[in-house]
Amino acid sequence: MPRECVSLHIGQAGVQIGRSCWELYCLEHGLGNDGTLKEGHDSESSDLTTLYSEASNGKYVPRALFVDFEPTVVDEIRNGPFSKLYNPSNMITGMEDSADNFARGYYTEGRKHINKVSDQMRKMIEACESVQGFLMFRSFGGGTGSGFTSLLVEELCTNYGKKIKLEYAIYPSPTVSTSIVEPYNSILTPHQTDVCFMMDNEAIFDICQKKIDIEWPTYDNLNRLISQVVSSITASLRFKGSLNVDLNEFQTNLVPYPRIHFPLINMSPLISRERINHQSYTTGEVTSEVFEESSQMVKCNQKRGMFMACCLLFRGDFNTTHINSAITNIKCRKDIHFVDWIPTGFKIGLNGSAPMVFPDDELAQVTRSCTMLSNSTAVKEAWERLHDKFKSMYNRRAFVHWYVGEGMEESEFTVAEESITELINEYEELSTACEEGGDDSY
């Protein structure tokens, strides 16, 4: 049965990540820059129709929508080497950006574009046999990423309520920022998706520097690393495998309560081309490394938190016996704590397709990788950090007039802050309950 997914790339971050993801997908599936299947590649080993639609001329077209109110970033795709890959109708731009303002993305500029975006999205969905869900890409801190995505999610909830909405979101970094008002935009966003995988640029920047030996990482380096994560998570949808995981299983296994739907991402091995020849990566080493802080894509201390759910996605030439042995060793570690009401703790995905890298990438080509998606109470640190920044500005009503001037009520700030406070309290209650229950380590 077809399991089609529709990808939605919103705002500058979402569009740039999308460009890297689709280029990597094409590489993995043996597709050329124009979507034609290269000679010698077997389309039977993969399910291209999950993310691509097949055109009448035999080309494969990404089932993806790119939306940004300012045309510069989308124009880079329109005029780039992969310009013939995409359907031009699926690239929607305006003439004014959201100016890092949630209210412009949600109210003024957003209302101008929502009908066109909804119509194009409906056409893509009607061309599918059975849509499984939506993959969304955006940043919390941008005006379009926060404001317009919120408006679009409301449309999705109204028209396609039962379809799963899975999102990859760039979370504001602790000390590095491209916008002063990131805390406002991030907290004003009503977090209505079913599962939200969070990453922050600072954590990914550190991985590029310390693991991949890139002295000054660019956005291209960061986006390519994010695309490796997205590729691993979607591999089970795109390739045949013995223990594949679909979108609904991510939600079922990673979200114990509706509010608590912000899994963290860790990945290994991440290593430069220069060092790959001097290190071995056994199943045990890959599994152990994925639990290390240096592999995290959000800045928070996972060892201070409790794991409520954990999904390990193995990709490449793994043996199930070795995987079981590696997980047994992880359970014996005293620095990894699970809540006492999770009897098994791990969801395993196994896909035989090896990961691939871009030909000119500094990241080494490996035959196996492991991606960990974990729902941990440690993410409370990230939300508390953001909440503190929000309060320090909002207590002085700094920049609020820019939001009110775009048609927003000031009371929406208070409602949004209360919602985040409730989220933090829920994490706090879970942490406290687990600690009172005694030592929950395996």
Report pLDDT for 440. 45
Which pLDDT band holds residue 437 (cuts at 50, 70, 90)? low
What count of Cα atoms within 13 Å lies in the side-chain half-sphere of residue 359? 3
> Within a 10 A sphere around the Cβ of 45, how many other Cβ atoms?
12
Report pLDDT for 240. 79
Residue 75 lies in a domain: yes
Report pLDDT for 436. 61
Q: 244-249 contacts: CB < 8 A, separation 24 or more?
A: 244/349, 244/350, 244/351, 245/311, 245/313, 245/347, 245/349, 246/3, 246/132, 247/3, 247/5, 247/132, 247/133, 247/164, 247/166, 248/132, 248/133, 248/164, 249/347
d(CA 437, CA 277): 46
Q: What is the pTM of this model?
A: 0.94
Pick from 253, 117, 244: nearest CA to 194: 253
- C-alpha distances in Å from residue 49, one per residue of 16, 43, 60, 130: 23, 10, 8, 11
Q: What is the pLDDT of residues 156-200, one digit of tens each?
A: 999 998 899 999 999 998 887 888 999 999 999 988 899 999 999
Q: Which of 154, 249, 384, 417 is catalytic?
A: 249
Q: What is the pLDDT of residues 290-338, one digit of tens each?
A: 999 899 999 998 888 889 999 999 999 898 899 999 998 988 888 888 8
Residue 151 lies in a domain: yes
Residue 332 lies in a domain: yes
**Does 1 score more than 80 pLDDT?**
no
Q: Where are the beta strands (DSSP E) in 144-194?
A: 164-171
Residue 403 lies in a domain: no
**Is 249 an annotated catalytic residue?**
yes
**Does 81 score more than 70 pLDDT?**
yes
Q: What is the pLDDT of residues 347-360, one digit of tens each?
A: 898 988 889 999 98
Contact present, 267 and 297 (Cβ < 8 Å): yes
Q: How many domains does the chain have?
A: 1
Residue 205 lies in a domain: yes
Q: What is the pLDDT of residues 203-235, one digit of tens each?
A: 999 999 999 999 999 999 999 999 999 999 999
- C-alpha distances in Å from residue 278, one per residue of 271, 281, 282, 318: 11, 10, 13, 20
Q: Find the range with the poorest average confidence among 48-57, 235-244, 308-317, 410-419.
A: 235-244
Q: Phi, psi at residue 405, to the nearest 5°? A: -65, -15
Residue 130's SS3 state is coil
CATH code for the domain of 18: 3.40.50.1440
Residue 128 lies in a domain: yes
**Does 42 score more than 80 pLDDT?**
no
**Does 422 score more than 90 pLDDT?**
yes
Residue 40 lies in a domain: yes
Tell me the pLDDT of the chain averaged across its residues: 90
Residue 226 lies in a domain: yes
**Does 414 score more than 90 pLDDT?**
yes
Torsion angle, CA of 155/159/161/162, rounded to 10 degrees?
Answer: -140
For the segment 230-243, the average pLDDT, to the nearest whole number, is: 85
Per the structure, the complete domain to which residue 108 belongs is given by 4-381
